[in-house]
Amino acid sequence: MERIPVSGPWITQKEIDYVTDAVTNAWYSNANCYHERFEKAFAQHLGVRFAAALPSCTSAIHLSLAARGIGPGDEVIVPDATWIASVAPVNYVGATTVFADIDPKTWCMSAESFEACITPKTKAVIPVDLYGSMPDWDTIRALADRHGIFVIEDAAEAVGSEYKGRPAGSLGDAGVFSFHGSKTLTTGEGGLLATNDEPLFRRALFLRDHGRPPGDRMFFNTETAYKYKMSSMQAALGFAQLERVSELVGRKRQIFDWYRRELENVKGVTLNTEPPGTKNSYWMVTAILDPSYGLQKAALMDLFASESIDTRPFFHPLSSIPAYHDSEQARIARSRNPVAYRISATGINLPSALNLDEAKVKRVCDVFKSILKHA
């Protein structure tokens, strides 16, 4: 039986042509031509002033925190359920991670829990547009503004999502994206930082090139910093994918719709939501199982795997994993965040690769229904 992968890209001749052009011509005086095209087009797509292409979303979060001067003694609030990349950069700069609970419907950071986590030491918050879903941005933004908290929107999973007509990645003081091979728009590995804040952007450009101002010809570094750059082959791939972004997001929404039609009437299965006023780009179709089935996510994944279907676990609460488990903040979070623990326990990501067709989605759903019937 053909294995059904959980994620993967959609590459066409356009991508091959642009990358071929980059590897052939983007050298010497043309070395930056694809970076310039990609960054300008991405900023335009978001409606923001500045964008910098980077090697990963992790580096984009690190640069945002570093450019804002966040460090030891500062607290940064993050949702408890997300990929560790949203949070690890807080540790890179020596600040303290504070884990907020998630919302039971959107699965993103809950605005109430965010508010409860704010202390005089809070310097930043990193809301995550989880699986393409949108948190309650109006409330989060108002709280952040009232307390002078810097907002980094982790839109790694949300290219093409919208909140009240505004694109994901444009709702924070900084917006960050991932173009990892599993993401909707890919450059193989890659990321991007978007912002309207010119001083922040200038500082990020300086920090990402070993403490050199852009255009420096004297190699006369004034600080030790980082080396976070993308190659022109990756920028060319990103530029081609960005020209196809509506097609890519349209396919994700189509895949979700195939699943929705098969699963919406199955008792005890909850899929991704799209609250009024939002657009979900459904990076990963995700199913949360009612606990009455008695199936935890690992057992469910094994049952799918035995039918050659790859799935992933809903992100574990960060306060539960070994990397954070023994921290004081993780201990507090374990009693504060019941929703993250409840949702994560029985949640899995279903195959959502861009090469899926309706027949494969049907096969996944048939297997799912048969698992539930025997549970």
Ligand X SMILES: *Cc1c(COP(=O)(O)O)cnc(C)c1O
Site for ligand X, rule CB under 6 A = 56-58, 82-83, 85-86, 128, 154, 156-157, 178, 180, 191
The nearer residue to ligand X, 143 or 152, going by C-beta atoms, is 152
The minimum distance between CB 323 and ligand X, in angstroms, equals: 15
Give me the least distance between CB of 203 and ligand X, in Å please.
20
φ/ψ of 164, rounded to 5, equals 45, 45
Of residues 98 and 303, the one with the C-beta less far from ligand X = 98
- Alpha-carbon span 35 to 305, nearest angstrom: 40
Nearer to ligand X, 191 or 360 (CB): 191
Distance CA 310, CA 305 (A): 6
35 sits in the region (left: phi over 0; alpha: psi -120 to 50; else beta) called: alpha
In angstroms, rounded to a whole number, what is the distance separating the alpha carbons of residues 152 and 128? Answer: 9
Task: Report the distance separating Cα 241 and Cα 234, nearest Å.
Answer: 10
CB of 160 or CB of 191, closer to ligand X: 191
The C-alpha atoms of residue 209 and residue 227 are separated, in whole angstroms, by 5
Q: To 5 degrees, how large is the angle CA 76–CA 59–CA 221?
A: 105
Nearer to ligand X, 54 or 372 (CB): 54
Q: Choose between 63 and 361: whose C-beta lies nearer to ligand X.
A: 63
- Output 37 or 312, the one with its CB closest to ligand X: 312
* Shortest Å, Cβ 185 to ligand X: 12
Burial (CB < 10 A; 0-12, 13-18, 19+), residue 284, is buried
Place of tokens 């960054």: 39
**Amino acid letter for position 139:** T
**Nearest by Cα to 70 from 120, 146, 123, 145:** 123
Which long-range contacts (C-beta less than 8 Å, at least 24 apart) are formed by 167-171? 167/45, 167/46, 167/47, 168/129, 168/132, 168/134, 168/281, 169/46, 169/48, 169/194, 170/46, 170/47, 170/48, 170/194, 171/137, 171/141
Q: How far is the CB of 87 from ligand X (least distance, A)?
A: 9
Q: How far is the CB of 116 from ligand X (least distance, A)?
A: 22
Please say which residue, 201 or 228, places its beta carbon nearer to ligand X. 228
Q: Sort residue 316 into left (φ over 0), alpha (ψ -120 to 50) or beta.
A: beta
Shortest Å distance, C-beta 168 to ligand X? 11
| Shortest Cβ 92–ligand X spacing (Å) | 12
Residue 169 CB, nearest distance to ligand X (Å)?
12
Residue placing its CB nearer to ligand X in the complex, 319 or 365: 319
What's the min distance (Å) between Cβ of 127 and ligand X?
Answer: 10
